[in-house]
Structure 1
Amino acid sequence: MVAPATLALSSCAGLAPASVAGRSRRTRQLLPPGSLYSQSTASSRPNPCHLRSSRPLVFSPAAVAVDSDQSGSSQPAEKEKPMRYYFVVANAKFMLDEEEHFNELLSERLRLFGERNQEQDFWLVIEPKFLDKFPNITKRLKRPAVALVSTNGPWITFMKLRLDRVLADNFDADSLEEALDFNPVDLKFEKPEKWVAPYPKYEFGWWEPFLPPGNTKTSS
């Protein structure tokens, strides 16, 4: 069985123009000759088919592309803030050869960090370059100088009180390498003629495990 064919017509197709024209003729027949309305109505009556626009909506690709690019753009990443470093400093003779407790304090702290799996945050720097930023300190120092540097401010305050004869301050640096940069120097300490302490004197070079990378060897 074949389904009956159907023809779908829009409201403005086929017979619509003829019906409109028929109504116009009947209107002219009912009006008296010479009527102004009879002369102008047919020509001025709008075509219903023209009232509905058949033009499709057009989107501007350029505008869409610009909006897409703007919405997908990301703000540049903010620059990381410099790290604050704290230090105590004194001449190398006092820090490495005369201060009896300095070795013990650093060794105990390094052992504690190892037991807790903490990353080391303190270093000894011989002739650090950052001292050039502190003329009020350098004019009071004998050279060569040694600084204990750390990112832990309270601990450096404790070390200043513990060592006593040291100077303290802080500075900012963009990297650890910049903070621990140094001027190469050979250290030489005279051995005392008579050692009166009940324990043996620390060996020369005991401080090398606490030096930053690249400064791990000193002369005797």
Structure 2
Amino acid sequence: MAALTIGSPCASLAAASSSHLDRPALARLPAGRLQFGCFFAKNGAVSTCAARSSISPLRAVAVDSDQSESPLPSSEAKPKKYYFVVANAKFMLDEEEHFQEQLAERLRLFAERGREQDFWLVIEPKFLDKFPNVAKRLKRPAVALVSTDGPWITFMKLRLDRVLTESFEADSLAEALASSPVDVQFERPKNWVAPYPKYESGWWQRFLPPNPSQPEA
């Protein structure tokens, strides 16, 4: 019997196994660690090497179907907040001489910048029913300047001075701008001494809500 030359442990098997790994049978083995066990007789006459694959079993992970799906966003629209200043119609529409000019300038600025109008004049607004402490301090009919821009309404409060201010939430623009029908007319002063012409009655029409929806009382 030929002598057995022993070099590095299982060196010959490691070399042979690399070629055997190309065989389809070994290629189908799951990925894992290949361990070699070698046994040699003390007299060197017999050698036995065995290779076995140490493969970690796959673990199935159960996923709760409720957790695997992200919650869908709610389709319900949230109420929007509106801010307003309010006073009697005589003051807002006839006596405050610079009010029309400020609204016209803001409307012009929005048109230049392509911004959607976010302010309106509301004559006898229905939302005043929610503010009895405000309503009892007003002469009627009342006019409110309503906007979704809180800081601007604060500025207008300081600019107009003799107005009351508050805020509320509404589910729609139509609800926020709902009003009670009332005809507003003012007599022209007999003696107008200002160096500029008085604004014509009805100038506020273009600042009223477009196609206002009047909900049933």
Q: TM over 0.5: same fold?
A: yes
Indicate which of 129, 145, 150 corresponds to 1:148.
145
1:173 matched to 2:173: no
Question: What amino acid is the match of 1:96?
Answer: L
Question: What amino acid is the match of 1:77?
Answer: S
Q: May I ask how many residue pairs the two structures share in their alignment? A: 149
1:84 matched to 2:81: yes
Which aligned segments of 4 or more residues in structure 1 are displaced greater than 6 angstroms? 67-74
Measured in 1, the distance between the counterparts of 2:72 and 2:134 equals: 42
Q: Where in structure 2 are the equivalents of 1:1-220 lying within 5 Å?
A: 75=72, 77-214=74-211
Measured in 2, the distance between the counterparts of 1:76 and 1:83 equals: 18
Question: What amino acid is the match of 1:80?
Answer: A
String of CA shifts for 1:62-100, please: whole Å, max 9, x gaps.
xxxxx9899789757253221000000000000001100
Q: Which residue is 2:59 aligned to? A: none
Question: What amino acid is the match of 1:203?
Answer: E
Q: Mark the runs of 5 or more structure 2 residues left unpaired by the alignment.
A: 1-63, 213-217
Question: What amino acid is the match of 2:195?
Answer: P
TM-score w.r.t. the length of structure 1 is: 0.63
Measured in 2, the distance between the counterparts of 1:76 and 1:109 equals: 36
Percent identical among aligned pairs is 76
Measured in 2, the distance between the counterparts of 1:74 and 1:86 equals: 33
Q: Whose helix proportion is higher, 1 or 2?
A: 1
Measured in 2, the distance between the counterparts of 1:83 and 1:151 equals: 8
1:188 Cα offset (Å): 1.5
String of CA shifts for 1:175-194, please: whole Å, max 9, x gaps.
11100000000112122111
Distance 1:125 1:71, change over 3 A: same
The structure having more radius of gyration, on CA atoms, is: 1
The answer (yes or no) to whether the contact 2:125–2:180 under 8 Å persists in 1 is yes
Q: Aligned with 1:191: secondary structure?
A: coil
Question: What amino acid is the match of 1:152?
Answer: D
Measured in 2, the distance between the counterparts of 1:144 and 1:97 equals: 13
Measured in 2, the distance between the counterparts of 1:117 and 1:75 equals: 33
Measured in 2, the distance between the counterparts of 1:107 and 1:73 equals: 48
RMSD: 2.0
Q: Aligned with 2:117: secondary structure?
A: coil
Measured in 1, the distance between the counterparts of 2:66 and 2:78 equals: 30
